[in-house]
Structure 1
Amino acid sequence: MSTAGWLPNGFTVQQTDTNHTRLSVAVGGSGPVLVLLHGWPQTSRAWARVMPELARNHTVVAPDLRGTGDSDRPEHGYAKTNQADDIRGILNALNLTGPVAVAGHDIGSMVAFAWAAAHPEDVSHLILVDSLLPGLGLEEAMNVAEGGMWHFGFFMSPRIPEMLFDGHELEFFTATFTAMSNPGTFSDHDLAAYAQAYTGRERLRGGFEHYRTLLADGRENLALLAERKLPMPVLAIGSTESGTTTAQALALHADNVRGAVAPTGHFVAEEDPDWFTKTVTDFVA
């Protein structure tokens, strides 16, 4: 998908070869580095409404995760610790030194968390936005036998979700985005752009690969946390639906955890960009 239509003024998009993958990354602003990692089913476009304000005081780095947007869709490498190496490679290619602040939403939170757990020296501040974490409650939340969320296990299935979603991307995204956000958050143009970014079985596969590693991600997270707690300040932002669930799950695994509840649904940065930018800026400052 072309980035030209949504990219804020002052930002450029670069293609970076790192960790055996070509990744697309939007960069803008100046000052301390703030990395923004989007979730599924989105791209770096998810941060468009907050990037200009955050770039006033930060060098903002917003990649398309592997498998999404304008980045490559390799067959393998979707473990969250390996994707953390993707981001480390991007920063190295951009000559940006750490430690850096990182904010992740949804799947991007899982990558951010794995990065902080595997390489705590890289991360000055960790911001997790409305996401359950593998190894820290996700497995229980997706247990359908106990009333858990069905979609995690379904998306993990090989080939089946691509086959069933093919040709129905816009229908699904429209229903999902509108059900999980405040009314009016996403225009028809927004929904069409996200649907286009995942249209076709190969693009769908790239997105679902993020789910197919979740059980292994959980085991890896628990092994990393058994070695040490997270030393950096952590801000866990929940929605009106999820509340402080993630902050509570992290309490035993980090020295400094703060919880906040956004006045929004799942898509915090797009539903209330002013609240998001103020909350993140105050936390990082």
Structure 2
Amino acid sequence: MSTTDWLPDGFGVQRIATNQTRLSVAVGGSGPVLVLLHGWPQTSRAWARVMPALAQDHTVVVPDLRGTGDSDRPEGGYAKTNQADDIRGLLTSLKLTGPVAVAGHDIGSMVAFAWAVAHPEDLSHLILVDSLLPGLGLEEAMDVAEGGMWHFGFFMTPNIPEMLFDGHELEFITATFTALSNPGTFSPGDLTAYADEYTGRDRLRGGFEHYRTLLADGRENRALLAENKLPMPVLAIGTTHSGTATAQALAPRADQVRGAVAPTGHFVAEEDADWFTKTVTEFLG
């Protein structure tokens, strides 16, 4: 499934060499820059329902993270601070100057957060959508001995997840997306499109590599936050499942944190595009 099959009107796609890899990025609109970073197992397609409205007031930059979509799948470089450098390189190539706003969902939130702690001068606003953060509670949430979520540790395991998921991509996508979203959010075509993006062991590996750096990501985040708080305004969006947990975890680490709870499951921008657009636009305004 090519990026251009779902791309909203007014957006164009480029492939740009950055930070020793090559990323696919969709760009549209005009005004202050807003970067949208997707989660796993998704691609830049995850933002399609909100891109047109956000582009009315912003230059919207929507990459496929390394290892996903139409971007390259290198062997390494998946540390979240390094992926932040991927996006910084994109903006330099696009001649888009900062500071910029960034919104991340799921794994994309972890990249956005790492960007904020490593290069706070780059960002005017930080928006985190339904994600635990390495170094700020993720490690406890993935501790299965204490009832934590099993999938984090499993996805970190080299080779085995690719072997077991190979040939079952659509089954997994369908079960997961259905369980974590409001009914009717994703059509069969949507589910097939996402499954196609992760079909085959190399595409699966590119996705799982995002998990295999999480413990190191947490150590790096804690070190970077040891002496300084985040200076930019932060909006932490939770859901009917996660509530305000991320906002609470961030409160001691940032000067300005606002929490919001979406009337949705995990896939906020796709489940309620109007709510997401309104909430983000008001925060940025």
Count of residue correspondences: 285
1:88-120 deviations in Å (ceiling 9; x for gaps): 000000000000000000000000000000000
Structure 1 moving runs of 4+ over 4 Å: none
The residue aligned with 1:230 is 230
User: After superposition, where does 1:78-97 map in structure 2 within 5 Å?
Assistant: 78-97=78-97
The residue aligned with 1:213 is 213
> What is the alpha-carbon root mean square deviation over aligned residues?
0.4
Instruction: Look up the SS of the partner of 1:4 in the other structure.
Output: helix
- One-letter identity of the residue aligned with 1:261: V
1:118-177 deviations in Å (ceiling 9; x for gaps): 000000000000000000000000000000000000000000000000000000000000
The residue aligned with 2:141 is 141
The residue aligned with 2:61 is 61
Q: Which runs of 5+ in 1 are unaligned?
A: none
CA distance, structure 1, for counterparts of residue 2 and residue 103 of structure 2: 24
The residue aligned with 1:187 is 187
1:235-275 deviations in Å (ceiling 9; x for gaps): 00001000000000001100000000000000000000000
CA distance, structure 2, for counterparts of residue 4 and residue 112 of structure 1: 25
Instruction: Look up the SS of the partner of 1:274 in the other structure.
Output: helix
Instruction: Look up the SS of the partner of 1:252 in the other structure.
Output: helix
- One-letter identity of the residue aligned with 2:177: F
The residue aligned with 1:249 is 249
The residue aligned with 1:4 is 4
CA distance, structure 1, for counterparts of residue 190 and residue 56 of structure 2: 25
1:15-69 deviations in Å (ceiling 9; x for gaps): 0001000000000000000000000000000000000000000000000000000
User: After superposition, where does 1:34-113 map in structure 2 within 5 Å?
Assistant: 34-113=34-113
Instruction: Look up the SS of the partner of 1:28 in the other structure.
Output: strand
Shift of 1:4: 1.9
**TM-score, normalised by the number of residues in structure 2:** 1.00
Shift of 1:3: 1.3
- One-letter identity of the residue aligned with 1:269: A
CA distance, structure 2, for counterparts of residue 150 and residue 4 of structure 1: 35
Instruction: Look up the SS of the partner of 1:251 in the other structure.
Output: helix
CA distance, structure 2, for counterparts of residue 184 and residue 93 of structure 1: 39
The residue aligned with 1:274 is 274
CA distance, structure 1, for counterparts of residue 227 and residue 43 of structure 2: 33
CA distance, structure 1, for counterparts of residue 3 and residue 60 of structure 2: 16
Q: Which runs of 5+ in 2 are unaligned?
A: none
Instruction: Look up the SS of the partner of 2:235 in the other structure.
Output: strand
Instruction: Look up the SS of the partner of 2:53 in the other structure.
Output: helix
CA distance, structure 2, for counterparts of residue 236 and residue 110 of structure 1: 12
- One-letter identity of the residue aligned with 1:97: T
Instruction: Look up the SS of the partner of 2:60 in the other structure.
Output: strand
**TM-score, normalised by the number of residues in structure 1:** 1.00
CA distance, structure 1, for counterparts of residue 28 and residue 4 of structure 2: 14
- One-letter identity of the residue aligned with 1:103: A
- One-letter identity of the residue aligned with 2:249: A
The residue aligned with 1:164 is 164
Instruction: Look up the SS of the partner of 1:121 in the other structure.
Output: helix
Matched, 1:115 2:110: no
CA distance, structure 2, for counterparts of residue 226 and residue 142 of structure 1: 23
CA distance, structure 2, for counterparts of residue 234 and residue 18 of structure 1: 27
CA distance, structure 1, for counterparts of residue 98 and residue 228 of structure 2: 20
Q: Report % sequence identity.
A: 85
The residue aligned with 1:154 is 154
Shift of 1:227: 2.6
CA distance, structure 2, for counterparts of residue 7 and residue 90 of structure 1: 19
Instruction: Look up the SS of the partner of 1:227 in the other structure.
Output: coil
Instruction: Look up the SS of the partner of 2:103 in the other structure.
Output: strand
- One-letter identity of the residue aligned with 1:214: L
